[in-house]
């Protein structure tokens, strides 16, 4: 069996973190099994679909490293949907319905008032040819519904949720085409999954009832359905659905200095029994991809956890991996000296300014004489050896200071900060002339 998965976003907006997670899991499953990962642009909504969003989807996937093996567009397949709808109509499994949105809403309210579920009553099936002709003569255009088989239970073994069973008689015949001729998600997606040879569909658990309906569509069209895995939805760090998750996407990650490796490492593992770990390539995530490790509880997405993971990943980056993103003049030694103090690669520029630029240090007047002595000692040190330890040893002996009273004034005078990288690594990069000048000014 050839494994082929797909990611099928609608180009009506930017990808958000939930979309990214679905794309990632489909990509990981394909790669785990030596298969293919396809991008399908679900652009049946011509009014809301925009090419700029298509371009953004491609760019976001590329940034994440989720490169598709192929691409399809639903707007290029309308003839396939027309043909399948005609065949379903001929087989008695699709029918036109003429109720307006207001009429349908009234029916639902009446049903609710009677304590009944809001299931469509199939009134359109009772219309005669003459009734339909009269409605269309009055300018009423039909929408189309798929007719469910109420006598056949809907069952499948979900790769995450286990055995699933639905009673079709408790469900409304789904609308598959609007009165204006535009297609809804359900039927085109089923047709495409079958004709594209999609073997597995990994998507959120909010699609479970859609899967139940689509399984009857596959059967009615004589098509083999893919296997389905419905994963738990994301929730925010506060434990409930967060509006922010609906807007958090690649653009926000990039602006915040988040690395794609951090995004993938977190989204691949939350909601599973595997620990979230810093990774610099996708191989460990591919290897551990297993639906048996996915839980049913909501997957908690915590931005603080992402930030911490991002820092850990940056701490592992070799200079060659980031050289093109560093300030001009910043070399390997400087990167090695500061990287363990970075939360984002962009912060390296701040430390380069400390090493190579001008600083503004706030010094306690009580430290002026101490720092003047430090400047005299620094002037005469052997800077080819270990100037930091030589300087602090000499100052400890001459001043009697130790601990914080010894080290903090030096760090402030030399870097303008109270915290930062190991001064033993930083001081040689600052250099004799600049260090003596900073200590002397202080």
Q: Is 243 annotated as a binding residue?
A: yes
Closest CA to 300 of 243, 232, 239: 239
Please answer whether residues 95 and 89 qualify as being in contact, where contact means their C-beta atoms are separated by less than 8 angstroms. Answer: yes
**Beta carbons within 8 Å of 212's beta carbon, 6+ residues apart:** 154, 164, 166, 168, 171
What CA–CA distance (Å, rounded) separates 314 from 166?
Answer: 48
What CA–CA distance (Å, rounded) separates 414 from 417?
Answer: 8
Sign of the Cα torsion 160, 161, 166, 171 reads negative
Place of tokens 């509880």: 297
What CA–CA distance (Å, rounded) separates 1 from 226?
Answer: 11
The CA–CA distances, whole Å, from 50 to 10, 59, 382 equal 9, 15, 65
DSSP 153-195: -EEEEETTTEEEEE-GGGSPPPEEE-TTS-B-SHHHHHHHHHH
What CA–CA distance (Å, rounded) separates 348 from 330?
Answer: 9
What CA–CA distance (Å, rounded) separates 69 from 72?
Answer: 11
Alpha helices (H) in 184-234, listed in sequence order: 186-195, 208-220
Closest CA to 62 of 7, 114, 3, 131: 7
What CA–CA distance (Å, rounded) separates 128 from 126?
Answer: 6
What CA–CA distance (Å, rounded) separates 323 from 317?
Answer: 10
Please answer whether residues 234 and 243 qualify as being in contact, where contact means their C-beta atoms are separated by less than 8 angstroms. Answer: no
> Which helix (DSSP H) or strand (DSSP E) does residue 72 occupy?
strand 70-73
Closest CA to 268 of 319, 306, 224, 308: 306
Please answer whether residues 438 and 414 qualify as being in contact, where contact means their C-beta atoms are separated by less than 8 angstroms. Answer: yes
What CA–CA distance (Å, rounded) separates 262 from 307?
Answer: 8
Q: Which residues are annotated as a binding site?
A: 243
Q: Which residues are annotated as a binding site for ATP?
A: 243
């Amino acid at each position: 069996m050839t494994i082929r998965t797909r990611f099928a976003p609608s180009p009506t907006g930017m990808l958000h973190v939930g979309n990214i997670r679905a794309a990632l899991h489909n990509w990981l499953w394909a790669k785990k099994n030596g298969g293919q990962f396809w991008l399908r642009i679900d652009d049946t909504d011509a009014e809301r679909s925009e090419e700029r969003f298509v371009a953004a989807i491609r760019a976001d996937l590329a940034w994440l490293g989720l490169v598709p093996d192929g691409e399809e567009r639903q707007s290029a397949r309308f003839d396939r949907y027309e043909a399948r709808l005609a065949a379903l109509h001929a087989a008695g499994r699709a029918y036109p319905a003429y109720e307006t949105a207001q009429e349908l809403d009234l029916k639902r309210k009446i049903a609710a008032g009677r304590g009944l579920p809001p299931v469509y009553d199939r009134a359109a099936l009772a219309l005669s040819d003459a009734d339909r002709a009269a409605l269309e003569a009055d300018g009423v255009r039909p929408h189309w519904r798929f007719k469910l088989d109420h006598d056949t239970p809907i069952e499948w073994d979900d790769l995450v949720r286990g055995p699933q069973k639905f009673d079709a008689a408790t469900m409304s015949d789904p609308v598959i085409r609007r009165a204006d001729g535009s297609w809804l998600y359900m039927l085109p997606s089923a047709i495409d999954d079958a004709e594209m040879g999609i073997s597995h569909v990994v998507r959120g658990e909010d699609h479970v009832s859609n899967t139940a309906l689509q399984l009857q569509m596959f059967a009615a069209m004589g098509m083999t359905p893919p296997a389905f895995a419905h994963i738990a939805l994301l929730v925010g760090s506060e434990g409930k659905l967060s509006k922010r998750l609906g807007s958090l996407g690649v653009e926000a990650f990039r602006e915040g200095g988040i690395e794609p490796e951090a995004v993938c490492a977190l989204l691949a593992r939350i909601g599973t029994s595997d620990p979230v770990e810093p990774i610099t390539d996708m191989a460990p995530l591919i290897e551990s991809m297993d639906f048996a490790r996915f839980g049913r509880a909501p997957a908690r997405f915590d931005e603080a956890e992402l930030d911490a993971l991002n820092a850990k990943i940056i701490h592992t980056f070799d200079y060659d991996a980031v050289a093109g993103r560093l300030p001009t003049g910043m070399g390997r030694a400087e990167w090695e000296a500061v990287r363990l103090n970075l939360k984002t690669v962009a912060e390296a520029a701040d430390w380069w300014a400390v090493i190579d630029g001008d600083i503004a240090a706030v010094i306690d007047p009580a430290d002026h004489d101490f720092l003047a002595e430090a400047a005299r000692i620094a002037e005469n040190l052997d800077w080819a050896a270990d100037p930091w330890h030589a300087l602090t040893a000499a100052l400890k002996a001459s001043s009697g200071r130790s601990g914080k009273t010894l080290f903090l004034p030096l760090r402030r005078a030399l870097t303008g900060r109270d915290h930062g990288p190991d001064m033993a690594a930083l001081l040689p990069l600052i250099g004799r002339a600049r260090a003596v000048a900073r200590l002397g000014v202080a």
